[in-house]
Structure 1
């Protein structure tokens, strides 16, 4: 007897999330391609579009086969190809590097909760595709001298065990030096805030809705504040500050994307920041760092929640697949 199991909830969640993220990124990068003036970036941009299109079409195929509703996601109606440049070509590469890393990590994380062979094979292939895209983009950024590196530290002279609990809170009157792991998380979270700040700054001047513009302005302020916190930690530790991310934004006020797409992208950035801060809390042994991350993640959670409410009010928030509401069925009017 042929065994043809139905999709389980975690598989539906993974496929739905992949569809939404890639349908959004596809149209963002399509506009980047439309205004691109850097011949060296052309192949990477086209590969990004191919990857995103593959994910969207494959999820659509699986859902249709299983009689699951295909998500609405994003369409050509969410991009305005008549709009001129808002972001630089260098920002395009940095965005692709960022989304390729996020796509690789998400696909790898999903694998843990997938049962069906075809779904596992799909996400395995997706992970490899985006990992290659990430590496190719890194190579081009390095070639251009535009890859933002994390701080360097002196080589460790010998391996040894900790002998004092002061390692957790610091020596009296000052904190102990940052570990390489803590530095890595600070660098990653600074990078996330930097790209987010650039994105929402462009959104704030092109959004059509006054409410969305105000929300994006608030996001720009939050990202800049968080960057300052992380950079101050490095300054106090005597760590050389990495160069800042490219934040070149044109003066265009013509929106290349719909308010719906901009809100979804901003929410995605918030979710990634929350996950990054959570990972940093678990990996940071200095108590002051845990305090910083806890305070900052609460601010992002509130910002993300306000964004979801704004999306719901404007009917921009697509409902994720959910379990049957048995109470509603029992209490339905006859």
Structure 2
């Protein structure tokens, strides 16, 4: 179970890095951008720790998602409000998954790692909800997609 959780965690974090890098290319609001920079830093730190664990256990490092899987030059698809709600939602899911991984880990080093991940997710959640509140977006209608009128 532990290696499966670690492997899945690695894939999720590598995807989060790609999503965050794309979001940061599109986001105009400095508060929302700051939230994504924080999220990107957390994901990069988690990826490094996961690589260390895999190397220590002589387990292959997953390929994960890379910059080849995202077009950082693609035009914006979503509003800043969408991105802020996205990070808010993802932190709720992440903290739940980290708690499950924590509870299913026998190794102390993995429990320590997932405890840190839970704390990281809660800190990001707090940051995202504070920005949502400050922007008047908490409890508002859902964010919208940009619709292009050109082909």
Q: TM-score band (shorter)?
A: over 0.9
1:218-258 CA deviation, whole Å, 9 max, x = no partner?
Answer: xxxxxxxxxxxxxxxxxxxxxxxxx531122242999xxxx
Query: What is the aligned partner in structure 1 of residue 47 from structure 2?
Result: 56
* Unpaired segments ≥5 residues, structure 1: 1-9, 149-242, 255-334
Flag the structure with more relative contact order, 1 or 2, with Cα contacts below 8 A and sequence separation at least 6.
Answer: 2
1:241-296 CA deviation, whole Å, 9 max, x = no partner?
Answer: xx531122242999xxxxxxxxxxxxxxxxxxxxxxxxxxxxxxxxxxxxxxxxxx
TM-score by length of 1: 0.43
- Closer/same/farther in 2, CA of residues 77 and 117 from structure 1, 3 Å limit: same
Map residues 211-250 of structure 1 onto 2, 5 A cutoff.
244-250=141-147
- Kindly indicate whether residue 57 of structure 2 is the aligned counterpart of residue 66 of structure 1: yes
- Kindly indicate whether residue 89 of structure 2 is the aligned counterpart of residue 98 of structure 1: yes
Query: What is the aligned partner in structure 2 of residue 131 from structure 1?
Result: 122
Structure 2: distance between partners of 1:35 and 1:26: 14
Structure 2: distance between partners of 1:123 and 1:53: 15
Per the alignment, in what secondary structure is the counterpart of residue 249 of structure 1?
A: coil
User: For the Cα contact (< 8 Å) 1:86–1:249, is it kept in 2?
Assistant: yes
Query: What is the aligned partner in structure 2 of residue 199 from structure 1?
Result: none
Per the alignment, in what secondary structure is the counterpart of residue 31 of structure 1?
A: helix
User: For the Cα contact (< 8 Å) 1:84–1:252, is it kept in 2?
Assistant: no
- Closer/same/farther in 2, CA of residues 81 and 114 from structure 1, 3 Å limit: same
Q: Which runs of 4+ in 1 moved over 4 A?
A: none
Map residues 271-310 of structure 1 onto 2, 5 A cutoff.
none
How many residues of Structure 1 are paired with residues of Structure 2 in the alignment? 151
* Unpaired segments ≥5 residues, structure 2: none
Structure 2: distance between partners of 1:253 and 1:46: 31
Per the alignment, in what secondary structure is the counterpart of residue 136 of structure 2?
A: coil
TM-score by length of 2: 0.93
User: For the Cα contact (< 8 Å) 1:36–1:89, is it kept in 2?
Assistant: yes
RMSD: 1.7
Per the alignment, in what secondary structure is the counterpart of residue 64 of structure 2?
A: coil
Higher alpha-carbon Rg: 1
Per the alignment, in what secondary structure is the counterpart of residue 62 of structure 2?
A: coil
